[in-house]
Amino acid sequence: MSELNNDTLLRSLLREPVDYTPVWMMRQAGRYLPEYRETRAQAGSFMDLCRNPELACEVTIQPLERFPLDAAILFSDILTIPDAMGLGLYFAEGEGPHFEHPVRSEADVERVHVPDPEDELGYVMDAVRVIRRELAGRVPLIGFSGSPWTLATYMIEGGTTKHFALSKAMMFDRPDLMHALLGKVADAVTQYLNAQIAAGAQVAMVFDTWGGVLTPGDYREFSLRYLERIVEGLTREADGRRVPVVLFSKGAGQWLDRMAETGCDALGVDWTTDLSDARRLVQDKVALQGNLDPCTLYASPARIEREVGRVLASYGAGNGHVFNLGHGIHPDTNPDHAAAMVEAVHTLSRPYHAT
């Protein structure tokens, strides 16, 4: 494998010294970029794009051609695992994801199988290999998966949900069934991420988008426990370098200390928690990734620069900060405003790393 020319992201995730704060954006490849919309139209459906390694590679690299980002993230989706489990994923135009066969009964849970990643999700591993080749060491490639809890909500509800009616009802009334499902999904996630690492992913990130809808006790029992199991099962070294593991539970500001005890290297933080408070909570045990409110990018470039300065100051001096949005970039964001953010991070962060 080729040498890594920019390892700032890996160094910051491991709390090693860097010259400036590295930056990337959640959902950095996506609909806010006209070139993404063009490739997407050429591919057909969203899943056709995910299943085509060359086109998935093209859209992964598009944001790097526009902005001097410090990382690439595999273009795929968290719902590839339930799709490979046979749930029948589809995206209706202008709507979110749907499953033809949601998981609601004991028989449904029994039918769920743990997919073989190279076999049933081979298109994802092929995309990782093509992207690594095309990146040629420019920046590291982040691989990712959804968390068991977040994936289970989609699998049970059959799509996006407001109140988590069916998934929470199962959690309350049939915790045994919920645990049986979460256990299978956790095994699938572990094998899937390990296959991505074997194919060339240099960071593994777990998106627990819906962890924050749980009470603290339910979060520990139904989300954190499985995140911990995944961290324990992951390959932590490839190409002679440590593969950092990043956990992101949205809305988890109150229990970042517990998350820091899982053995992960870094935590994603959304914009509702101040990074200075987050840093105090985790006591410098892990690196932090975040946390500009994605809506900041609706403001003027001058205002964006000020807010970037505020986020950098809230983390303060020292190693272990990766700049990011607190959640995915919105599809109606002006790309020039994303450019202003990236430039401000690179310029304004240098004094925080001066020795």
For 307, other C-beta atoms within 10 Å of its C-beta total 17
Q: Which one of the listed residues 32, 154, 192, 315 is annotated catalytic?
A: 154
Is position 78 an interface residue for ligand 1CP (rule: CB under 6 A)? yes
* Residue 327 is labelled as binding a ligand: yes
Is position 145 an interface residue for ligand 1CP (rule: CB under 6 A)? no
Note if 303 is an active site residue.
Answer: no
Residue 144, classed as helix, strand or coil, is strand
Nearest of 71, 77, 75 to residue 13 by alpha carbon: 71
Q: What are the beta bridge partners of residue 324?
A: 291
Interface pick for ligand 1CP out of 8, 9, 20, 30 (rule CB under 6 A): 30
Note if 154 is an active site residue.
Answer: yes
Q: CB-based contacts of 50: which residues, under 8 Å, 6+ apart?
A: 56, 75, 76, 77, 80, 123, 124, 127
* Residue 28 is labelled as binding a ligand: yes
Q: Which one of the listed residues 11, 15, 40, 132 is annotated catalytic?
A: 40
Is position 67 an interface residue for ligand 1CP (rule: CB under 6 A)? no
Secondary structure E strands in the chain? 72-73, 89-91, 97-99, 141-146, 203-208, 237-238, 241-242, 245-249, 266-268, 287-292, 321-325
Helix (H) or strand (E) holding 138: none
Note if 40 is an active site residue.
Answer: yes
Closest distance between ligand 1CP and the C-beta of residue 121, in Å? Answer: 15
Residues 168-227 that bind ligand 1CP (CB under 6 A): 207, 209
Amino acid at 44: G
- CB closer to ligand 1CP out of 78 and 312: 78
Q: Which one of the listed residues 11, 36, 51, 77 is annotated catalytic?
A: 77
What are the angstrom distances between the C-alpha of 203 and each of 128, 225, 289? 12, 21, 13
Q: Count residues binding ligand 1CP (CB under 6 A).
A: 20
Print the binding letters for residues 279-318 with ligand 1CP: x by CB under 6 A, - otherwise.
----------------------------------------
Residue 122, classed as helix, strand or coil, is helix
Note if 11 is an active site residue.
Answer: no
Is position 46 an interface residue for ligand 1CP (rule: CB under 6 A)? yes
* Token representation of residue 342: 């990236």
Phi, psi of 123, rounded to the nearest 5 degrees: -65, -30
Interface pick for ligand 1CP out of 2, 5, 42, 160 (rule CB under 6 A): 160
What are the angstrom distances between the C-alpha of 333 and each of 338, 342, 343, 349? 8, 14, 16, 23
Is position 77 an interface residue for ligand 1CP (rule: CB under 6 A)? yes
Interface pick for ligand 1CP out of 9, 10, 39, 40 (rule CB under 6 A): 40
Interface pick for ligand 1CP out of 277, 328, 343, 352 (rule CB under 6 A): 328
Is position 28 an interface residue for ligand 1CP (rule: CB under 6 A)? yes
H helix intervals, 112-222: 117-120, 122-135, 148-157, 165-173, 175-199, 216-219
* Residue 77 is labelled as binding a ligand: yes
* Residue 350 is labelled as binding a ligand: no
Interface pick for ligand 1CP out of 6, 14, 27, 35 (rule CB under 6 A): 27
- Distance between CA 35 and CA 56 in Å, rounded? 13
Is position 98 an interface residue for ligand 1CP (rule: CB under 6 A)? no
Is position 99 an interface residue for ligand 1CP (rule: CB under 6 A)? no
* Token representation of residue 292: 């500009």
Closest distance between ligand 1CP and the C-beta of residue 210, in Å? Answer: 8
- CB closer to ligand 1CP out of 20 and 32: 32
Specify whether the CB–CB gap between 263 and 228 falls below 8 A. yes
For 268, other C-beta atoms within 10 Å of its C-beta total 26
Closest distance between ligand 1CP and the C-beta of residue 189, in Å? Answer: 13
Annotated binding site: 27-31, 77, 154, 209, 327
Annotated binding site for substrate: 27-31, 77, 154, 209, 327
Binding site for ligand 1CP (CB under 6 A): 26-31, 40, 46, 73, 75, 77-79, 96-97, 144, 160, 207, 209, 328
